[in-house]
Amino acid sequence: MLLEAEQLLKKHYGYDEFRKGQKEILGKVFSHKNTMGVMPTGGGKSICYQIPSLVFDGVTLVISPLISLMKDQVDELHEAGIDATFINSSLGYEEVRERIQGIQQGTYPLVYVAPERLESASFSHLLQSLPIALVAVDEAHCLSQWGHDFRPSYLRIPELIEQIASSPAVLALTATATPEVTKDICKSLSIHSDDVVQTGFARKNLSFHVMKGVDRDVYIKDYLKRNPSHSGIIYAATRKEVERLHDRLHQQGVAVGKYHGGLSTDDRRRMQEEFVYDQTQVMVATNAFGMGINKSNVRFVIHAQMPRNIESYYQEAGRAGRDGEDSACILLFSAQDIRIQQFLIDQSSMEDDRKANEYAKLQAMVNFCHTENCLQAYILAYFKDTNIKPCGRCSECVDDRETVDVTKEAQMVFSCIKRMGERFGKTMVAQVLVGSANQKVKDFSFQKLTTYGLLKNRTQKDVSQFIDYLVASQYLALTSGNFPVLQLTENVVPVLKGEVNVVKKQAIQPKQIQKSDP
């Protein structure tokens, strides 16, 4: 079957060979195994179900949350000579009926449906009787409560598949899955752990940059000036901030569009099209924008605000450079953004254990911003990739400032936290270390501690940033919650014994001046 598949690849797509992961996935799908494919954005996931739809006798059903894209995808497939159709809420009753008839008559080997459709009893009844050979679950991380984009409508999928009389094979696809999420998906969809194909998460053409303490507006303006011909996305955390940034850039004469959940469907569609067809250079958007957009020449993704976890970050940043050309992913870090995200988690209606999980993910995101090691390697380690090497391109890899030994200062911080009973947050610890006369410090009689004022020649801000660094380096951990408390990890033991030194890049000047601008 693989040989036939290779011929189809050439005929319909014009490509000579499958990529490694595709081949492995197709091999399993052709032997009717339930399979999971984890491939980075741009890795070529769609072909993993489109080609089988041409090979198999029955129908391939694709469950995808991307309603707004279905029409475009289907149009593209028609151009490639593949008969596909979609069924979602944008269609009228008559239209749906006609399409279903077409499916029953075998006109469409490939059918896209939105998960919401599966909740309709008549529709799921219909599916049961169709000759379905393969069910592809796109964006499969939406199935897991521990993923970053859980969708309740996905929960129906396993049950539904079970009811299909033709007992189809299942293919789950995603670009972002931690081991826990992968496990969850495998359990729900009865996928054996041997049938998880993971191609590695690294994106070799992306360079990651974290910029600290920069003025957001000035930075963006300068960046666009330096890269006038580059198309890119600027992500902001709120609709309000999207509007503000958009208006500013518009006034500056930038061809800019905007996208967020508060705009009408028509407006969103128009904005998206103008961006995809290069009529606008820049898209300012909330995270509502981009899932699966088909624009390959995105040269940069700027996060004007930090997103709430690494999964979202990597997925959004990963929309750059799908054509394989060098592209930049720039995160503008500001400590206030942590508060915004904490607030959003706190205000959400999640159960407590899920909230704690979200706080822990947020902390991993914050640590990404404070690490002095390779940023790509950090992300790969987060996803438990097994092939981790420094990328040589990110803002940390190219930061060649000298490192200094800060073991003594680190020991001071550790003992101070210990003496304060590991019960306080960063601000309080920093205040004690710089010898602050703050009333709260006195209330706890911390001015009597031997560690009080040990770092009095530093500013409180300096000490705070140093603590951030120690957290990012995993000497310290923060408890999850709205008021995170600093605790020592087992990594401090060798440091306190003098067996391990702590080093840090010398921060003589604000970081952004030292680093090469992307």
Where does this chain bind ligand ADP (CB under 6 A)?
15, 18-19, 22, 39, 41-47, 296, 322
Which residues, including other chains, have CB under 8 Å from residue 502's CB and lie 6 or more apart? 405, 406, 407, 409, 410, 470, 473, 475, 495
Cβ proximity to Zn ion: between 316 and 396 the closer is 396
Q: Which does 338 bind (CB under 5 to 8 A by kind): Zn ion, ligand ADP, none?
A: none
Backbone Cα Rg of the chain: 25
- Tell me the CA distances in angstroms from 306 to 145, 339, 376, one per residue in order: 22, 11, 16
Smallest distance from the beta carbon of 377 to Zn ion, in angstroms? 6
What tokens does 268 get? 């969103």
Q: Is 356 in the site for Zn ion (CB under 5 A)?
A: no
- 503-505 and 403-405 as β-strands: parallel, antiparallel, unpaired? antiparallel
Cβ proximity to ligand ADP: between 43 and 435 the closer is 43
Number of residues that bind Zn ion (CB under 5 A): 6
Q: Which does 19 bind (CB under 5 to 8 A by kind): Zn ion, ligand ADP, none?
A: ligand ADP
Smallest distance from the beta carbon of 357 to Zn ion, in angstroms? 28
Q: What type of residue sits at position 65? A: P
Q: Is 391 in the site for Zn ion (CB under 5 A)?
A: yes
Smallest distance from the beta carbon of 309 to ligand ADP, in angstroms? 20
Cβ proximity to Zn ion: between 324 and 392 the closer is 392
Q: What type of residue sits at position 208? A: F
Smallest distance from the beta carbon of 316 to Zn ion, in angstroms? 19
Smallest distance from the beta carbon of 9 to ligand ADP, in angstroms? 6
Smallest distance from the beta carbon of 42 to ligand ADP, in angstroms? 5
Cβ proximity to ligand ADP: between 327 and 431 the closer is 327
As a whole number of angstroms, the distance between CA 30 and CA 28 comes to 5
Q: Which does 44 bind (CB under 5 to 8 A by kind): ligand ADP, Zn ion, none?
A: ligand ADP
* Nearest position to ligand ADP, beta carbon: 44
Smallest distance from the beta carbon of 395 to Zn ion, in angstroms? 8
Q: Is 374 in the site for Zn ion (CB under 5 A)?
A: yes
Q: What is the footprint of Zn ion within residues 22-41 (CB under 5 A)?
A: none
Q: Output the 3-class SS for 373-437.
A: CCHHHHHHHHCCCCCCCCCCCCCCCCCCCCEEECHHHHHHHHHHHHHCCCCCCHHHHHHHHHCCC
What tokens does 267 get? 């407006």
Q: Is 394 in the site for Zn ion (CB under 5 A)?
A: yes
Q: Which stretch binds Zn ion (CB under 5 A): 43-51, 387-395, 400-408, 443-451?
A: 387-395
Task: Give the chain's count of helices (H) and strands (E).
Answer: 21, 17
Q: Which helix (H) or strand (E) holds 331?
A: strand 327-333
C-alpha 409, offset from chain centre: 35
CB-count burial class (<10 Å; 0-12, 13-18, 19+) for 71? middle
Smallest distance from the beta carbon of 173 to ligand ADP, in angstroms? 8
Q: Which does 397 bind (CB under 5 to 8 A by kind): Zn ion, ligand ADP, none?
A: Zn ion
Closest CA to 417 of 459, 467, 462, 465: 467
Q: Which residues bind Zn ion (CB under 5 A)?
A: 374, 376, 390-391, 394, 397
